[in-house]
Structure 1
Amino acid sequence: MEHAVVSAAEGAIHTLLGKLGAILVQEAQLLGSVQVELQYLKDELESMTAFLQDLAERNEHRKQVKIWMKQVRELAYDVEDCIDEFKHHLGDSRGVVSKINRYSGNHFIFGAAGNSVAYDTPTSLLNYDVRITALFPERKQLVGVEARQGNLLQWLMDKHLQKLRVISIFGFGGLGKTTLAMTTYQSLATNGSFQCQAFVTVSQRFDVKVLIRDILLQIIQPVHQQGHRASAEVGESSEEGMLKGIETWGVGELASMLRQKLENKRYLIVLDDIWSIAAWEAFRFSLPDSNNGSRVLVTTRIRTVAHSCCLHEYDQAYEIEPLTNYESRDLFFKRIFGSSVNCPENLQEISEKILGKCGGAPLAIVSIAGLLASKLVHSKDQWEKIYGSLGTELETSPSLERLKKILELSYNHLPYHLKTCFLYLSIYPEDHNIRRKSVLRRWVAERFVTEKRGLSVFEVAESYFDEFINRSIIQPVEISFTGKVKTFQVHDVMLEIIVTKSIEENFITLVGEQYTLVPQEKIRRLSVHSGGVRDIGNLDALKTLAEVEFTQSTSHCISELGKLSRLKKLGVMMFVDDDNSWESLTFALGNLSGNLCSLLLWRPDGAMNLDSLDALSRPPMFMESINFRGQLRKLPKWIPLLSNLTELTLRATELSDKEDLKVLAQLPSLLYLRLHHSAYIENEFVIAASEFPCLKLLAIHLAIPIAWKARFHKGALPRLEKLELSLFQGTSIQEISGIEFLRNLKDVVICACPSNAMRRIVQSLKVYASNNFDKPTVIFKEKQWEPAQSSTDPPLDHRGNPFDHPF
């Protein structure tokens, strides 16, 4: 778990450094002694960050160093809590100063770094390649290889292409890339298709000299010819004489000799397990193209490496596919029962669940099948227990050691700044479709991502995400028509590994399903999964519950929300539609009304229960932000009472009563109003004088196939600064008038499909804007919307997000 300790500790300090820097810059009037202490902490923590990054490059650490890194992480969390409290009480900071002094006095932990690293040497003298069994596959036990060899053999044996062709196999760790490459290599070694062949494993850390020397020895003294030494003794002796003293040769001499030996020969070289473009570059200049049908076969987990190896149009990058359900069952049952037809009927259902967790990865299937086969008795209860505790089994079972080490290679190879972001994905439950944009925002909020020169913080976060896709350690689920990943999953077995790392290092605390709330230390991040909601009412100090999903009619669990008396922010997704569940939610909201400031209520697959919402006993008078998503038809009766409401987002609510717009227009504190995707379906949008007195942003996304008209009377929207209009395909704007009356308006942005009618609207807006005293900017953004599935609604995914517009 060394890498988890390093990444978690480094991530904690990175977050803290951002907050300390912000305070020191923004709060120039700090008490002198406090500012000195804060600056001291910042300097010390910067040194710690550099030191932890150095540690991340190592594979193993002594126990003392691991303990020290854990202490650093916990200290960073404590200091961050203190800084948050300091910011909250700034101006009356006497109660916090002593805490800051106490933490800055903990320099004995920092000072231990130098002593610890001096003695930090690897504790294990045994170093072996955990992929070794893939290099010697037993053909009788293989499943699905022949089906995947077809294209490979065709590309390798193509007599019409005489140029040197590079073929790369890439995909997630454990999918069988090495096994496929080796079986293909072996099948070609026996039919004389190539004059010489060599197979070498590159791996993450490699020695070019050793690998080139290995290739030379294989092509000069082929393994399959070693038994016939007598017949070629003279020839081989001369070859071996040329390699005399090869151990002392430099890279240049070895590369030159390799080119010489391969020149004018039809050869096959397999470079297995390449992790970087630099590794490929180290070899490719030693591989001549004699225009005689030579081939190079590469395996890698990293997409960009695979494509970098294939520079020519005739090269081939092949993404290996997981086993099909049929192939998975065949391999699984053969390993346990000797035949795919011998599985007892009572184990069929749990077998499917276990195979679902394996995700078609042969290594996972074989490893877990080996674990189950080692049990003397095959009972459903025992298999259920192993299925529910796979994370523990990965840590303790020798049968799963190889699987764990193979998958950990992908994690350990991540740069230090990506490890914390990847660990964060352990907050999501198994088989959960994770929204990419939600994850990016969370990374940014946690300060795992910082700006780089020329890139915004969100662009950096995007690059981090793209790197995970590139490394094949997350699996895209839903792709937008523009090619962007919308939702994704983490492979179940990989998720077990990062969950184990995160829990052991107190990076997260999980509640529900197979997890129990028995934290050994302070809770830093809490993720509540299915089954844990029933006890959530015990978290009476909780202030933010950003997202809780109810997928079953469990009114008791929903009522538990009402016990969170200090809750200020709540997000609820209601996949249920029965009256009891909605009444329980309304009851809970009534109990929370005294503190609740932010509410997200989402009904992805139907209509909200307006009768229940209307029956709210105590309106949330301190509410500042509301986000309603799902069919509502009419605003709840208590909305006009929300005098503190500053932000309102409505999506697919289908409001049609003009009185609802009047209600919103009278809210005295409303600053931001977003009407997304059929939120308000009346074709006329009229704002009278004095309405929306404080509004700064008005964003409207039109989705109904009618000609929309907007009219702003003189004196309306006196503080509006930005107007955003987005149009789905089939919608249009007939008229927008009154722009010249919006005296504080700075920007008008229209996003729509280009058309002559739209260009006329934009031109007329520019004319109106020119008559506005502040001369607002009118911007037209061309957008090709994905065709709608319905004449009344844009396409929405299972969470209510439009398929083609950012959340």
Structure 2
Amino acid sequence: MAVAAYASLVSLTHVLDNVQHPVRRHQLRLDTGQIQSLQEKVEFLQGFLELHSQRISPEMEDLAKRLAVVADEADDIIDFHVVNQLREKSQDQSLHMVALSSFCQDIDNIIEKLDSIMKKLMVVKEEWVDVQEQRPIVSVSMGSTALPSSDKNTMVGFDERLLQVVDELTRDEFDLQILPIVGWEALIKASVADELDLAKLGECFHKLLFRKRLLDVARPLGFDNHYLTVNFLDEDKSWDLLCEKVFAQQSCPYPELEEIGREIAKGCRGLPLAIVIIGGLLSKSNRTREYWEFVEENVSSFVKSGDDESCLKILSLSYNSLPLHLKPCFLYMRVFPEDETIKASKLIKLWISEGFLKPVEGKSLEEVAEEYLKDLTDRNLILISKWTRSGKIKICNIHDILRELCVRESNREHLIRVPKTQYISFPRRPQESHACFLCSHKLDRQNKIHLQQVFAEVASPSVCEACNNVYPNLNRLRWVKVFELVYNQSFTFPHHTKLRCLEVNDYRCHDEYWITGKLLLPSTISLLWNLQFLDVDLVYEFYDMLVVPSEVWEMPKLRHLKVGVHRLPDPLTNQSEGQDSNVMENLSTLSSGAFKCSEEVVKRVPNLKELHATYMEFPQDDRYSLNNLVQLDKLESLYFAYYSHLENITFPTSLKKLDLSSCYIPWDKMTIIGSSLPNLEVFKLYDAVSGQEWNPIEGNFFG
């Protein structure tokens, strides 16, 4: 339970930071000193778990379980009081005192429970079995000097088989052919198919790869004499593969480790995935004979059990050796279906939304998440499918056996308790409006589950069976009405107040029935007070379809705010609070129509990195203050659709990517853009220039 306790504590620190934000000081009645005391205890316990997570005792497991429960209880209590205070907004001082007293009493109870757990931890500390001494699992920090393994998936021992597959698929035979690849327990099946360079297969799309782990599955389908069997690696090939993953070469530079290393490779029974995962473990750990003997002992004991269990136990060695801060992120991979390709940007957004990432001074949470992801890929627990131009991970995935490990361990830990992400898709017709409030999958009587109603203003939400199984605590949530679709009759969408990521899209496929509808986003959006990602993507991109309130500027935790081409309102101004109180220092991505780059807005978004601005009408510079764009000195990516003649605008020199659309810039102005943007790496034009010929000057774009 240490993983669940740690994840809950880290998530709680984000909540406590939010409560103490300058904006909240003017909105909430709370005892700042009491909140800081609670935060200090939470951070102490967080560090305690990081330091001692490798120690084992029944008492520790029990205390970690209690700690997870108390941390979640603290989250519930804070959410309850904050939402109630934001909802009331009363000027009655007596009511303020009642709210403050109730809040303080509940926080005192939480502090008492944490103090009790801390005392018991100190008592049992001396009795713990020190895993570091008896079972020397040694994890190296992210600054490890371990040799990097090859980026390319190694196919040791498969060269001849791979050539055979390519030959089968590229023969000049035009009948539909299916080539089964049969390998042990899905550990090898993906390796062969993923190594194929599909670009070299020409037009042979009438031939299919059919990958199955068991021969008796392929035979009934008519492949008795025409299938490819991928055999196990022999001992030498296994050792070569292990060396490749541990030392980035097919030999061991440490003679004292070779004998025990060969035993480890032998213990993996020729299974490439097991060897790769154990290699990732050894590459991140101390290279001592004692530690390698510990690994060999465990690998040898695991292979005595059945096939599935032995594999999972071997893989669990690498999981158990993970630093505690990586375990929640790895276990979260269970939420993705088998064999799904995963955008790294999406994965990072979800990790942030869950509150898994411990803040690091001087780094954004996105940068911390990128480091976590790289560490997991270095350990071969997450696979890289595609890189960005700048060398970052773009697409990744997880092997189905490793995903099974994630499912098993996360169930044991009760890790993912409350969903922090919600996806809404609008129905094409009112009668089709019954859908799961979390994933928008259509519901029928057989798979609809009604949740407990908390607030009278919101109808009891429904959830599909799959989401209900993943999230066991849905009935504890508080529901509020935020989005409302208005057309003849209204459709409201329930949201719970712990949401951190909300995505809204419209799949109505240009249905004329909805053209005159409006999507209302009322001021109650502020009740989603922990929201970090708000993305609204509509088919009908009309200015007046989405109504956004000014309260979005009072949500300091927002990191991504995307409303398509729809207008953002002007920020609320309250001179008594001061301008600094409403700075959205976390906002890094903003997308809107008719974006006003006023002095007030520039002050609100000092760390904006990506801006997507669309002007559907002919804008006027004085109205939208576009000359202030140059003041966004952290901006790295800008998409600018102007639909008019763009003149006399200076872009910030920090830009690395610039997309211009319908701006009608004369070609001679391109020289000015090129010379003024020294960091520009990507420049895209969409009907953005006027004139037929461009004569670039050397030293600008082409230097």
TM-score between the two structures when normalised by the length of structure 2: 0.52
Instruction: Give the corresponding residue for 1:45.
Output: 42
Which of these residues, 348, 353, 357, is aligned with residue 449 of structure 1?
357
Secondary structure of 1:80 counterpart: helix
Q: Secondary structure at the match of 1:500?
A: helix
Q: Which residue of 1 aligns with 2:105?
A: 98
Of 409, 412, 429 in structure 1, the residue corresponding to residue 317 of structure 2 is 409
1:602 is the counterpart of 2:496: no
* Equivalent-residue separation in structure 1 for 2:549 and 2:41 (angstroms): 47
Q: Is the 8 A contact 1:727 1:753 kept in 2?
A: yes
Match of 2:72 in 1: 77
* Mapping 1:393-404, distance limit 5 Å: 400-404=308-312
Residue 272 to residue 150, structure 1, CA distance change in 2 (3 Å): farther
Q: Deviation per CA, 1:100-145, whole angstroms, max 9, x where unpaired? A: 121222222221112333333389xx9999xxxxxxxxxxxxxx98
**Deviation at 1:202?**
9.3
Q: Which residue of 1 aligns with 2:116?
A: 108
Residues in 2 aligned to 1:24 and 1:673: alpha-carbon distance in whole angstroms: 21
CA–CA distance in structure 1, aligned partners of residues 351 and 245 of structure 2:
35
Look up the match of 1:611: 513
Q: Which of 147, 157, 162 is residue 158 of structure 2 equivalent to?
A: 147
2:281 maps to 275
Q: Does 1:11 align with 2:14?
A: no
Relative to structure 1, is the Cα distance of residues 73 and 739 closer, same or farther in structure 2, using a 3 angstrom cutoff?
Answer: same
Matched residue, 1:379: none
The one-character-per-residue Cα deviations of 1:625-674 (angstroms, maximum 9, x if unpaired) are 985535426456x55x76658688455x8xxxxxxx9xx59x67799999
- The answer to which of 745-754 and 482-491 deviates more is 745-754
Between the aligned partners of 1:217 and 1:479, the Cα distance in structure 2 is: 32
Cα distance in 1 for residues equivalent to 2:326 and 2:367 = 14
The structural deviation recorded for 1:75 is 0.8
Q: Which is greater in Rg?
A: 1
Q: CA deviation at 1:212?
A: 2.1
Distance change (3 Å), C-alpha of 1:711 and 1:149: same
State how far apart, in whole Å, the 1-side matches of 2:102 and 2:125 are: 37
1:783 equivalent to 2:692? Answer no
1:99-138 matches, cutoff 5 A: 99-106=106-113, 107-121=115-129
Measure the CA separation in 2 of the matches of 1:79 and 1:567: 20
Describe the SS at the equivalent of 1:736: coil
CA distance in 2, matches of 1:57, 1:436: 29
Match of 1:321 in 2: none
Partner of 1:752: 658
Task: Give the letter for the 2:624 counterpart.
Answer: L
Instruction: Give runs of aligned pairs for residues 558-573 of structure 1, distance below 5 A.
Output: 566-568=479-481
1:449 CA displacement? 2.2
- How far is the alpha carbon of 1:463 from its aligned partner? 0.9
- 1:748/1:738 Cα in 2 relative to 1: closer, same or farther (>3 Å)? farther
Q: Which residue number corresponds to residue 448 of structure 2?
A: 535
TM-superposed deviation, 1:702: 7.8
Q: Which letter maps to 1:52? A: L
Q: Of 633, 641, 646, which aligns to 1:736?
A: 646
1:55-110 Cα deviation digits (max 9, x unpaired)? 3224xx33332111100111111123323445554953111221112122222222
Q: What pairs with 1:348-359 in structure 2 (closer than 5 Å)? A: none
- Residues 96-105 or 426-435, more deviating: 426-435
The CA deviation at 1:215 is 4.0
Q: Secondary structure at the match of 2:360?
A: coil
Deviations 1:550-591 (A, max 9, x none): 9xxxxxxxxxxxxx99444569xxxxxxxxxxx9x9799623
Distance 1:510 1:477, change over 3 A: farther
% identical aligned pairs: 16
Letter in 1 for 2:103: V
**What SS does the corresponding residue of 2:317 show, helix, strand or coil?**
helix
Assess if the C-alpha contact under 8 Å between 1:433 and 1:487 holds in 2: yes
Instruction: Answer whether contact 1:72 1:109 (CA < 8 A) is retained.
Output: yes
By how many angstroms is 1:183 displaced?
A: 4.7
Q: Structure 1 residues 734, 720: CA separation in 2 closer, same or farther (over 3 Å shift)?
A: closer
Is this contact kept in 1: 2:387–2:393, CA < 8 A?
yes
| Shift in alpha-carbon separation, 1:509–1:492, aligned structure 2, 3 A | farther
Unaligned runs of 5+ in 1: 130-143, 152-171, 188-197, 219-269, 284-299, 301-366, 371-396, 512-525, 551-563, 572-582, 654-660, 767-777, 793-807
2:492 is the alignment partner of 1:591: yes
Q: Trace 1:517-666 onto structure 2 (pairs within 5 A).
A: 534-535=447-448, 537-538=450-451, 540-541=453-454, 566-568=479-481, 590-592=491-493, 600-603=503-506, 607-615=509-517, 622=523, 627-629=535-537, 631-632=539-540, 634=542, 639=546, 649=562, 651=564
Give the whole-Å Cα distance in 1 for the aligned partners of 2:503 and 2:245.
Answer: 52
Q: Distance in 2 between matches of 1:739 and 1:565?
A: 47
Alignment root-mean-square deviation, CA:
6.5
Q: Is the 8 A contact 1:710 1:737 kept in 2?
A: no
Structure 1 residues 217 and 99: alpha-carbon distance in aligned structure 2, compared to 1, 3 A threshold = closer
Which residue is 1:327 aligned to? none
After superposition, give the CA deviation of every residue in 1:245-296 in whole Å (9 maximum; x if it has no partner): xxxxxxxxxxxxxxxxxxxxxxxxx99847355769779xxxxxxxxxxxxx
Distance 1:507 1:10 in 2: 10
Partner of 2:369: 461
**Are 2:618 and 1:717 aligned?**
no
Instruction: Check the 8 A contact 1:712/1:739 in 2, yes or no.
Output: no
Q: Is the 8 A contact 2:14 2:355 kept in 1?
A: yes
Query: Which residue of the other structure, out of 328, 333, 348, is the alignment partner of 1:425?
Result: 333
Shift of 1:411: 1.6
> How far 1:415 moved relative to its partner?
1.2
> In the alignment, which residue of structure 1 is the partner of 2:380?
472
2: CA distance between counterparts of 1:569 and 1:712?
33
- Give the Cα separation in 2 of the matches to 1:593 and 1:400: 42
Q: Which runs of 5+ in 2 are unaligned?
A: 87-95, 138-154, 163-184, 192-230, 263-275, 290-294, 296-302, 420-436, 465-476, 527-533, 554-560, 574-586, 689-703
Does the C-alpha gap of structure 1 residues 587 and 527 become closer, same or farther in structure 2, counting only changes over 3 Å? same
The answer (yes or no) to whether the contact 1:650–1:674 under 8 Å persists in 2 is no
d(CA) in 2 for partners of 1:765 and 1:217? 56
**Alpha carbons of 1:527 and 1:642: their partners in 2 closer, same or farther (altered >3 Å)?**
closer
User: Is 1:212 the counterpart of 2:212 in the alignment?
Assistant: no
What's 2:224 paired with? none
Match of 2:410 among 482, 486, 502: 502
Q: 2:280, 2:380 within 8 Å by CA — same for their partners in 1?
A: no
Q: Does structure 2 conserve the Cα–Cα contact (< 8 Å) formed by 1:427 and 1:527?
A: no
Distance in 2 of aligned mates of 1:498 and 1:619: 39
* Counterparts of 1:94 and 1:538, CA distance in 2: 31
Asked whether the equivalents of residues 646 and 670 of structure 1 are also in contact (C-alpha less than 8 Å), the reply is: no
CA distance in 2, matches of 1:24, 1:102: 20
Question: Separation in 1 of the partners of 2:572 and 2:25?
Answer: 32
Q: What's the CA shift for 1:46? A: 3.4
Give the direction of change, closer, same or farther, for the CA distance of 1:488–1:566 in structure 2 (3 Å limit).
same
Higher RCO (Cα < 8 Å, 6 or more apart):
2
Cα deviation, residue 431, structure 1? 3.9
TM-score w.r.t. the length of structure 1 is 0.46
Secondary structure, aligned partner of 2:682: coil
Kindly state the Cα deviation for residue 457 of structure 1 after the two structures are TM-superposed. Answer: 2.8
Change (3 A) 1:74 1:786: farther
* Distance in 2 of aligned mates of 1:765 and 1:734: 21
